[in-house]
Chains A and B, each alone.
Chain A
Amino acid sequence: MRATDSTGISLAAFVCGMVFALGLGLGGMTQPSKVVAFLDITGEWDASLAFVMGGALATHALLRRWIIARPTPLLASSFVVPALTDIDGRLLCGSAIFGVGWGLAGFCPGPAIVAAGGGATAALIFVPAMLAGMLLHQRIAGRNEATRRRSR
Chain B
Amino acid sequence: MQHLTVLPSLAGGILIGLSASALLALTGKIAGISGIVGGLLAPEAGDKTWRGAFVGGLLAGGFALALVAPGALAATLPRSTAALIAAGLLVGFGSRLGNGCTSGHGVCGIARGSRRSLAATITFMATGAATALVVTQFLAGTV
Q: State which residues 1-32 of B face A: CB under 8 Å.
A: 1-6, 8-31
A30 to chain B, nearest CB (A): 5
Q: State which residues 63-105 of B face A: CB under 8 Å.
A: 63-66, 69-70, 72-77, 79, 81, 83-103, 105
Q: How far is the CA of A79 from the CA of B54 in the complex (A)?
A: 17
B107 to chain A, nearest CB (A): 5
- Determine chain A's interface SS by DSSP, over half rule: helix
Q: State which residues 92-114 of A face B: CB under 8 Å.
A: 92-110, 112-114
On whether the beta carbons of A21 and B74 are closer than 8 Å, the reply is: no
On whether the beta carbons of B128 and A16 are closer than 8 Å, the reply is: no
Interface magnitude class on chain A: 35 or more
On whether the beta carbons of A27 and B89 are closer than 8 Å, the reply is: no
List, in ascending order, chain B residues with CB within 8 A of A85's CB: 114-116
Given contacts A20-B20, A90-B97, contact A48 B127 (CB under 8 A): no
List, in ascending order, chain A residues with CB within 8 A of B5's CB: 28, 48
User: What are 11 A-B interface contacts by the 8 Å CB criterion?
Assistant: A27-B9, A31-B74, A54-B13, A57-B13, A98-B124, A99-B126, A99-B129, A100-B90, A104-B135, A119-B63, A120-B62
User: Pick the contact of A114 from B10, B58, B92, B108 — CB < 8 Å?
Assistant: B58
Q: How far is the CA of A59 from the CA of B111 in the complex (A)?
A: 9
Q: How far is the CA of A87 from the CA of B99 in the complex (A)?
A: 11
On whether the beta carbons of A113 and B59 are closer than 8 Å, the reply is: yes
List, in ascending order, chain A residues with CB within 8 A of B105's CB: 95
- Determine chain B's interface SS by DSSP, over half rule: helix
Interface magnitude class on chain B: 35 or more
Given contacts A73-B27, A120-B73, contact A94 B88 (CB under 8 A): no
On whether the beta carbons of B17 and A56 are closer than 8 Å, the reply is: yes
On whether the beta carbons of B73 and A39 are closer than 8 Å, the reply is: no
List, in ascending order, chain B residues with CB within 8 A of A146's CB: none
Q: How far is the CA of A72 from the CA of B27 in the complex (A)?
A: 9
On whether the beta carbons of B97 and A94 are closer than 8 Å, the reply is: yes
Q: How far is the CA of A115 from the CA of B64 in the complex (A)?
A: 10
**For residue B13, which residue of chain A has the nearest CB?**
A55
**For residue B106, which residue of chain A has the nearest CB?**
A53
Q: How far is the CA of A19 from the CA of B13 in the complex (A)?
A: 11
Given contacts A12-B22, A94-B97, A136-B89, contact A100 B12 (CB under 8 A): no
On whether the beta carbons of B19 and A23 are closer than 8 Å, the reply is: yes
Q: State which residues 7-23 of A face B: CB under 8 Å.
A: 8-23
User: Pick the contact of B73 from A30, A46, A110 — CB < 8 Å?
Assistant: A30
A31 to chain B, nearest CB (A): 4
